[in-house]
Amino acid sequence: MAKQQPFALIYDPDVVGHLDAVEAKYRSLIRAAMEEQLQFEPDTVTRHRKPLLRPVESGVTWELRLGPQNRFRVFYRVEIDQREVHILAIGVKERERLFIGGEEVKL
């Protein structure tokens, strides 16, 4: 059986700012989790990967939850034909509030 090619991870330019807003000690954890979870089968529902009930205006259709108490969120879109995962935002969930780039957003 032939090995599947991994999906390319393509980062939106704003993601750098989103990651800068996260505590430095968690940045490598987030990067490693994105690579591990999204390079193969990024469109498969798992305990930590879920499709959004309503796609967001920016094209986000999936959410990856990770970190201590699943407090970090990676929002992304999958392009199956091109084998690409577009990472569009990284956020921090605090109770019922979501912060992306240090600013509270509503989903």
The answer as to whether 1 is a domain residue is no
Stretch 70-77: mean pLDDT: 95
Round to the nearest angstrom and report the end-to-end CA distance of the chain: 41
Retrieve residue 2's tokens: 């032939």
The structure's pTM equals 0.91
Q: Count of domains in the chain?
A: 1
The answer as to whether 3 is a domain residue is no
Owner of token pair 């305990």: 47
pLDDT band at residue 53, thresholds of 50, 70 and 90? confident
User: How confident is the model at residue 54, as a pLDDT?
Assistant: 77
The answer as to whether 2 is a domain residue is no
Q: Which amino acid is at 28?
A: S
Q: 90-106 b/e with 16+ CB inside 10 Å = b?
A: bbbeeeeebbbbeeeee
Is residue 2 predicted with pLDDT exceeding 70? no
Domain of residue 28, residue span = 8-105
3-state secondary structure of 28: helix
